[in-house]
Structure formats: C-alpha cells, structure tokens
Structure 1
Amino acid sequence: MAKFGGKHTPRKYVFLFAVVALLGIVLVADFLWASSSPSSSSFSRYWSTTSVSSLDNVIGVGSAKGKQTKGKLNSDKAKISKYLNATFADLPAPQLEWEEMAEAPVPRLDGAAIQIENLLYVFAGYGTIDYVHSHVDIYNFSDNTWGGRFDMPKEMANSHLGMATDGRYIYAVTGQFGPQCRGPTNRNFVLDTETKVWHELPPLPVPRYAPATQLWRGRLHVMGGSKEDRHEPGLEHWSLAVKDGKALEKEWQNEISIPRGGPHRACVVANDKLYVIGGQEGDFMAKPGSPIFKCSRRHEVVYGDVYMLDDGIQWKQLTPMPKPDSHIEFAWVILNNSIIIVGGTTEKHPITKKMVLVGEVFQFHLDTLTWSVIGRMPFRIKTTLVGFWDGWLYFTSGQRDRGPDDPSPKKVVGCMWRTKLRL
C-alpha cells in the first residue's frame, strides 16, 4: 500500500500521480527524441498512437475496477486534453491589437485571393460543404469597402485553386470543381483586372488540388498539390511561358520535381528566389460510391518544411516553420524583406484527433532565412486571405475555432480584420 507522510494515500491520488507520471515520462521522452529530429511533427505522431491507450491501461478499462472509475478517467482525459490545447497548439506570441472591418459579402472557405495595389480580389471558395461560390468580390483598402462583384467562368474551379499575378493579370490554375469532395479540373484561366475579361490557358497535363503556384522569371510555375483522388500527394512540377495574360507556349514543360508533395502551401517569389512553405500530405477523399461525392476522412500529415529554388536546378531545404502549418496558400504577404504568414492548421490534437487551427502570425526573415512568431490573431483560423496596405495587415474569410479553449474548426466566416504592423 502506498504511503505519503506516514498515512495511507487515497486511491484517487494514486491514480492521479500515475497519470501525471505517465504524462511526464512521455513528454520528456518525446522532447529528447524531438530535439534530435529535423521536424517538430514527431511530438503529435507519438501522442496520436500512444496517449489514449496508455491512459486506458493505467486505469484498466474493461476490468471491474476500470468500470467503477470510468467517469474519473474521462474527467482526467478532459483535463489533459485541455492542457494539451494550451501547450500543443499555441506558441508564445504577443497579442496584436486587431480592429474588425466591413464583413465580406459571403463567407468563404478554401477561397483564393490576390492583391493588386489597393485592391484585394477574392475568388470562389465554399460557402458550405454543399455550396461553392463562382464569383469574385473586391475589397478596397483605401476606403475599406467591398464591391465590384463579377462572375468567374462556369468551367473554372471553385476551390483549391493555384493563383498568381503579374500586377495586372491574374492566373487561376486547376483546382476542385464543385462542392463536397468532387473531382479536380485541369482547366486554367487568366483574368485581365482592368477589363474584367477572362481568357483560357492551355490545360495542365493532369488535374491537381491546391498546387503551389507562382510566376517566376517569365514562367507560370505549378507544383505539388494533391493528385486526382484528392489524397495522394503530387510531386510533379510544370511551367508555362506567359506574358501579358497570354501563353507563349502550347504545352506545359516539365521542371524539377519538388522534394515533398501535397496541397495547401504558401508559394512566394522574393529576391528572385522561389519559396514553397508548409503544407500537408493527404486530404479528405470522396466517399466510395457516394452520388454527391460526400467527403470521407483520411490520414493527413501536416508539415512546416521550407524549400527554395534559386537556380531552377536544385531544391534547397531551409529552416522549417516554428510549427507545422497548412492551409496557408493565400495567407501571406511580403513586407520589409520578410514573408508574413497568418493562421492555418497544424497537426491534429493528439487525444481528440480533431483538426487544430493556428492563431499565430509568423515572420520569415529573407536575409537570415530564420523564423519568428510576431503576434497572435483575434482567434485561430485557417485558409485566411491576406493583404497589406498603408501599414495595416488584413485578413478575411476562412474557418475559425470554437473558442479560446478549443482550437478545432467550427464556423466558416467572411469577417475582415486588420492590425497595424511595424517590423
């Protein structure tokens, strides 16, 4: 019989000590392992396979004793889950002063956005899982108003788009056509923002979901993303010569494959270098035989890898993000020789297995190729659409968390927020 201070220790304290000790051992072991690993993702992978079963074994669920204390076990799991919500998901960061602006005409998830001077062009996206948008809304940073709505081509993808601009023309590449988990299209379009006229570009060799896309050295580059089943990562990399909204070639050319595939990554050109940041491997798939392509969950691995292409011949792997981050393809801006990334999703909660949203603002310093956490958002949110104007950092749309103590996703929103950002 265990004793403490010369007296018998109540059974409930023995149980609590055992749970705390187990948690401590696992955390220390994982910390020692992670300290020698190039990726912080080892922590959640370890917990996702051991945490719940280990806690069950402590109390002996299924035994007579276990049945008597099942309620206690659930209570302690909830406490540990809340503890992990605060430590696993959130990094220390200052709370920025955010101001809520005019809300977007419609809520959007997995939409796209491109800023040209004082205008933010916001495209497509889910309104709900069963409804997708097929139009463009424009936010004017000068007077902080929405307006100028116009339609997209009916054949253009409604979400998971790749997108880039040369300052007048916006190139929209591949993506998912329709709601739920419907299939992708390989059709590509270009918008003249001065005339609001669309033209079609040569199709991709094969369709992709949410590929990394950017204009670099006169060519439109498209790489990674998910393959036609929406889940398997693609590694292919293609490019097409373009100028003034027109393709100079009839077919896409093969380029050096990206070392790690997958969708939902930031793709940025800065200082004549091409950067691909964050992302994930795997995604929801259409449920087999579903007539409406209802989504079914699949295993996903979120990562914070950073790759750079500066010579067109070889990818270089750089310092990873402070934590794994996905759903950030339009959540970035370039500011003062750095890349700012807002929100996203990180690895799933190790106990509940729910998606965990990101509430930090990250800065990638292009001179030192290192990362900082420079602020916290008003709430955690994924697939933000980000812009910067006159000293203000803006974000709109996406899917936000359930509250300060629950980082899992809930409501699709169209809100617009801004904060004064000085670097």
Structure 2
Amino acid sequence: MTPQARLSAAIEIIETIEAQRAPAAKALKDWGTAHRFAGSGDRAAIAGLVWDVLRRRASSAWIMNDDTARGRALGMLKRERGLAVDAIAALCDGGRYAQEPLSEAERAALATRTTDAAPPPVAGDYPDWLDPYLAQVFGEDRVAEAAGMASRAPLDLRVNTLKGKREKVLAALTHLGARETPWSPLGLRIELGADARNPGIHAEESFIKGAIEVQDEGSQLAALLAAARPGEQVIDLCAGAGGKTLALAASMQGKGRLIATDRDKRQLAPIHERLSRGGVHNAEVRSPRGEEEPLADIKASADLVVIDAPCTGTGTWRRNPDAKWRMRPGALEIRLKDQAEVLDRAVRLVKVGGRIAYITCSVLPPENGEQVRAFLGRHAGFSIVPPDQTAAALGDKATAFAGAALRSPEGWLMTPRRTGTDGFFVSILRRER
C-alpha cells in the first residue's frame, strides 16, 4: 500500500471507531480481516496512524478547527509526526486510494494554528472532566505531564534472574536494539518508531526459556519498591496474569512462600504457564470458587501483601490511548470502592511488623494518596513507610529516582515525563499493632 492509501485506511478506521463506539483494537482487527491484501508492514503503519490520532485527538482537532476523522488525522501529522504542510499535502493528492487534496482552509490551519491558546485538556489531550484531578496533582505542569502520557511507549522487558542475567540477555537481544533501562537493574528497553511493528519477543529464545518477560519499567520498579525478601510469606492479592507475581518470585530468589490470587479467576488464566516458564517453584495460585474465600486459612501471618489495585489505568494511556476517551466519571467511583475493599481485605492477612504494598497504574489523587489516607483513617494500626526509606530498594539508583519521581507523604508517583515509565503510584504501609 502507498503512504496515501495507508492514511485513507486510517481515517476510515477512525470513522468506524466513532460511528460504532468500537474499541480501537477491535476496529483495527476487523479492518485487517476485511482487507487481507494488506501486508504486516501496512497494518503496522495504519495502526500507528490510528493510535497517534487517538493520542492527539483533541489537540489535532484544535489545530485544524475540524473535529472529524480527516481533520484529526491531518492535525496529528503536524502535531505528532511533525510533518510540514507540503509533506501532508503530498499524502492527500487526490489519486487512487488517496484523500482529496487539502482545501485552502486546511492549508492555512496547518500553516498557522498551534495549541498555544488551547485550554489544558485540549493542549494535553485528555477529557475535560479529568482536568481538576490532573491540576490537583500536577498543577501548571499538567499539560506537559499529559503530553508525556500521550507519547508512544517503548517495549520494556524484565530479565528474570531465576533464569538469566541482564548482561547475557542484553547481548542476545542486540539485534532488536535493546538497551538497559535507566532505573530498573532488571530492565531492557526497545524503542519503537511511529510505524514500527512490535518485535516478535515471544519467538526469541530468551523468552521461550523464561529469561525475560514483557513488563513496563514502572511496573518493575513498583515490584522492587515492595521489597519482597527471600524466606518471607508474600501474597499477591490482585495477581491477574502474574506480571508482578513473577517479579516478586525473582526478588524472593525462589525462597519462601508466595501466594497469588485474584477475585476474577479469568484474569489468572495465563499465570500457570508463565510461572512454569519462569522457573518459579515457590508460588501457589489460588483461584476463587464461588463465594468461598481463597485465603481463609491466612490470618495475620503474611510478611507482605501486594495490592496491584484495580484502577482507572490513567497511567497507561501511552499504551491504551483510546481508553482515556472512553473513560467516564462513574468508572472512577467504581474503582475507588474496589480499592477500599481490597485494602480492607488485606488487613487480616498481614502480621504485626508486616507490610502492605499498595500500587496503582493511575495518576489520579483519589486513587492514590487520598485512598491511602482514607485507609489509615479506618485502620489506626498502620503507618506509612517514609518514601525515602522505600526508595532504598533501588540501590545506587535511589537518589536519582528520588529526584525524578514525584514524592508525596503517602508514596511515589512515576510518570512518563518524570521517569520515562508508565504512570505508577506506590505506597508501603506497615502494620504497627
């Protein structure tokens, strides 16, 4: 397919997303099924265009003064891809499978309009109703922080120290352009261009043998800040597919007792194969059965309970750019209730002197610091471990991390702009009595 045809296809898919209110991933899959002539490179390039339009939906429409699929796509080519007017015009030459030529109004908009006078939600590309929350945590920096959350994420990998060493795995992945992550001593990063296909990590020998897992560096750091130790009893209360379970097992060096569970047993489906491939032998997976409590036998004995809490996912907008536009205020209220419930559930599991690691992939204060303060108001026997103490788990990177991440009395907040990771909040709570 020509670049012109790819742009037309992307605009068609964006129109489908709008008309059918379909998730972007489904719309892209359906288009690929209906257009089997398109090669993998074409599909990757078209997907890149669609995701970039979703990342910059509001600002692109502002630049063009045109909130249509075409207007947003043209604005994105200037805003995100940095193309000049003539380069954009070349993609709209009116030829076969190409868009109609630029109108004079479109040329003028591309040449003159910027987001300098745009309100923060437009300049930062996020829904209006989220502005008070982002202003609360970021203040005047919220546009810059939101712009970071609208950028494309790299592909991050975690080296599984139960199966390999970072130096060896890095050497095996040099052909993919892998390099060390800046913070995590276990991380590798592969940068991806706008039209790049995701590399076939699952076909790499390092992956097949369990030496690497796909995991954002922020998620790796959250697991490290939880500071699971060899010989401890650790419970991963919201284990899901097992990403943090695997990281905790590595921190424990395979020693101690690790229990993984989740209220939604469907989320646990991939964890068994991942634990086996990762060489984890000290983990027990407990799936819920009806109303039965899978941890009924655990009473005030856990050294560490890790809560990778259900949340709005605002910290993952780089990877799920359509999620921010689909999110509604009611979703936040539901998540706040879920978080309070799982925090309260952890209380009876952790022993005196033990810890709760509360983690979200959100940047919104109600899900983070406010949720922690509300928990302390309900449970006077707990205190916050000072963030400076928790950062010590990062070793020689602790000081630099403390200078980059956003610190609050309750914990650490990582963001794409500050730490180059997804947005993650981490608070460590100690049971005093």
| Superposed pair shares fold, TM > 0.5 | no
Larger % of strand: which?
1
Larger % of helix: which?
2
Normalization by structure 2: what TM-score? 0.28
Normalization by structure 1: what TM-score? 0.29
